[in-house]
Amino acid sequence: MPEDRDRRRRPPPGGRWFWVALVILAVINLLLSNALLSPAPRIRISYTEFLAQVDAGNVVSVVGTGETIQGTLAEPISDPQNPQVTSTEFETVRPAFAEDDLLARLIDAGVTVNAEDPDRPPPLWQQVVFGFGPTLLLVWLWLMLFRRAGSALGPLAGLGRSQARRYEASGKRTTFDDVAGIDEAEAELVEIVDFLKNPEKYTRLGGRIPKGVLLSGPPGTGKTLLARAVAGEAGVPFFSISASEFVEMVVGVGASRVRDLFKTAKENAPSIIFIDELDAIGRERGGSMSIGGHDEREQTLNQILTEMDGFTGREGVVVIAATNRPEILDRALLRPGRFDRHVVVNPPDLKGRRAILEVHTRDKPLAPDVDLDAVAAATPGMVGADLANLCNEAALIAARRDRSTITMEDFYDALEKVVLGAERRIMMSPEERRRTAYHESGHALLGMLQPGADPVRKVSIVPRGRALGVTLQSPEADRYSYSEEYLRGKIIGMLGGRAAEEIVFGDVSTGAENDMVQATQLARSMVGRWGMSEVVGPVTVFDDRMVDAFGRPLVSEKTMEIVDDEVRRLVDECYEAARKQLTEHRDRLEALAAALLERETLDEEEAYRVAGLPRS
């Protein structure tokens, strides 16, 4: 093919740099050799000065070649042409008309007369060591630098090679038994495994396996684990690489690595190529991140598109990619013939979290009181990575307490540490402690009063993480959509701490900073994303897919002003509602604050009992 012929004629990557480096090394070697092997410089003096030095007894030795006399002095003298330069090595010329008995004069002065040339070349071993030693040392240093950078030969062979890591089917394999809580996504990939094991089952009927599978979903849901399980079940080589590893400073390296990766996968077929974080190179071309035309990232993307188009479906190579942001991917990647199958990996539900906890505790000794159903119910919204971390923290806490098994108390303490943050040993002044108690009581009381709000699970004025106190609320069951009333109630609860401070102390503190950030973000989403404003209407303003070349929303400044006004109105209304409810229930607020100052932490049952409210 013409493309193959062009590729063969093209010089290998780094070839030009090799010759440049070779010339530089040759020049350096020449300079060092001259410096190390050249004889010491001599000053040139007159014959008269030479005789004067002989008479003064300053000449140690001489050697004569024709009329030229070279020698060494006991004490250095100045160069007549350059008085600033002194040396003990000298050279002079005996005039042809001189009839003095120089040899006798030198012998009388005790000068050693040599027959050997003082500027004779050094021995062969010195010529070899000092002539080639610097070059060999520089070559060795050069190779070491590039080997440490990830390639033994640097630009000669490493830049264009794929950085993918290969996992063989032998040894400890990841299988579908290690994957839990994402049954729907797992079922989508069973067919891929069956094809890699029995390709003739599909090809004899004219079927074609999907060339690519795109896994999308929030971070930590198990996309990479799922891809490795497919390779483990199929028993084929698994080539894993992050998309960012394709792109280098040198133009063309990314495309070269893509070619090398796909070539290696075809040579080891059947096999699986897994590309993590595909959005690093798969962004839509011509968008806000591609100003300036054709860049290295786009070259890499174009090469991936070309390689996937080159599949006939019979090579036995399947490309699996994972991303957290499928909405920004180039449409050419998502069309049939490239990533044919799109699998959404969602956060697990209650049943899925229970199954994930079983996987991560199967090699941990659990006490009889451990109820994984209760742990799963207390962790709504957590994904597989969060639950794995929770189990690990519980094991660490149990080990710190010198226990032989992990108890339910360890799990609850680990959950508090993961969700709320680690306890901080700081000393708060009585006034600051009292203000924190009213602040958290305001959050908790509004969480109990708002209809449909998530139940209050724990209230504490023990400093955790960056907070001086925490109020934990979590839903009874998993939620997948939220009503406007529920979201307004969340904003009211977020502003409850600031409202309580203003009611009790007559001013506010910086402790409500994070509350205001969260309340403002939620209000902006309600107005600009979900159409929960009568003034703005059912219009989406904030969306990653609706931006210009500079990343700005595709709306007018007037619309943005209206959105800002509506956000301010919504937050003000919620804040007034918070103040009103806390004022009406001031006695409950005082009771909660007093209990917190006395016990520091209230669990769910104690908090509702102290507030005098039923647990709905």
Q: Given this model, what pLDDT does residue 597 score?
A: 92
CATH 1.20.58.760 holds for 430-611? yes
> Which two three-digit tokens encode residue 511?
């402790």
Q: C-alpha 403: how far from its chain's center?
A: 36
Q: Is 487's pLDDT higher than 80?
A: yes
Q: Is 379's pLDDT higher than 50?
A: yes
Fold of 165-344: Rossmann fold (3.40.50)
Place of tokens 């020698």: 71
Q: For the ranges 84-88, 265-269, 423-427, 551-555, which has the lowest average pLDDT?
A: 551-555
- Contact indicator for 234, 196 with CB cutoff of 8 Å: yes
Q: Given this model, what pLDDT does residue 394 score?
A: 94
Q: Given this model, what pLDDT does residue 325 score?
A: 87
pLDDT tens readout for residues 125-150: 555 666 666 667 767 776 776 665 54
Q: Read off the pLDDT of each residue in 445-473 and give the average, rounded to a whole number.
A: 88
Tell me: cis bond preceding 76? Omega within 30 of 0 counts. Answer: no
Q: Read off the pLDDT of each residue in 432-443 and give the average, rounded to a whole number.
A: 94
Q: What are phi and psi of 213, to 5 degrees?
A: -125, 125
| Residue, of 340 and 355, whose pLDDT is higher | 355
**Banded model confidence at residue 616, pLDDT cuts 50, 70, 90:** low
- CATH of 350-420, picked from 1.10.10.10, 1.10.8.60, 3.90.1150.10, 3.40.50.150, is 1.10.8.60
Q: Is 258's pLDDT higher than 60?
A: yes
User: What percentage of the chain exceeds 70 in pLDDT?
Assistant: 81
Edge-first strand order for the sheet with 165-167 is: 165-167, 238-242, 271-276, 317-323, 212-216, 339-344
Q: For the ranges 9-13, 428-432, 443-447, 533-537, which has the lowest average pLDDT?
A: 9-13
- Contact indicator for 532, 573 with CB cutoff of 8 Å: no
Q: What are phi and psi of 382, to 5 degrees?
A: -75, 145
Q: Given this model, what pLDDT does residue 402 score?
A: 93
**Banded model confidence at residue 551, pLDDT cuts 50, 70, 90:** low
pLDDT tens readout for residues 384-412: 999 999 999 999 999 999 999 999 999 98
Q: Given this model, what pLDDT does residue 312 score?
A: 59
CA–CA dist 8, 162 (Å, integer): 19
Q: For the ranges 254-258, 392-396, 603-607, which has the lowest average pLDDT?
A: 254-258
Q: Read off the pLDDT of each residue in 592-599 and give the average, rounded to a whole number.
A: 93
pLDDT tens readout for residues 511-532: 889 999 999 999 999 999 999 9
User: What percentage of the chain exceeds 90 in pLDDT?
Assistant: 26
Closest CA to 453 of 438, 443, 468: 443
What does pLDDT average to over the chain?
Answer: 81
Q: Which residues, 6 or more positions from 471, have their beta carbon under 8 angstroms from its beta carbon?
A: 440, 443, 444, 447, 456, 458, 459, 460
Q: Given this model, what pLDDT does residue 131 score?
A: 61
pLDDT tens readout for residues 260-304: 888 888 888 788 888 888 888 888 776 555 444 456 778 888 888
pLDDT tens readout for residues 180-194: 888 888 888 888 888
**Banded model confidence at residue 42, pLDDT cuts 50, 70, 90:** confident
Choose the catalytic residue: 186, 284, 307, 440.
Answer: 440
Boundaries of every domain in the chain: 2-36+124-156, 43-114, 165-344, 350-420, 430-611
245 as an active site residue: the answer is no
Q: What is the CB neighbour count within 10 angstroms for residue 527?
A: 25
Q: What are phi and psi of 275, to 5 degrees?
A: -115, 110
CA–CA dist 589, 584 (Å, integer): 10
If one looks up domain 43-114 in CATH, what number appears? Answer: 3.30.720.210
Q: Is 598's pLDDT higher than 80?
A: yes
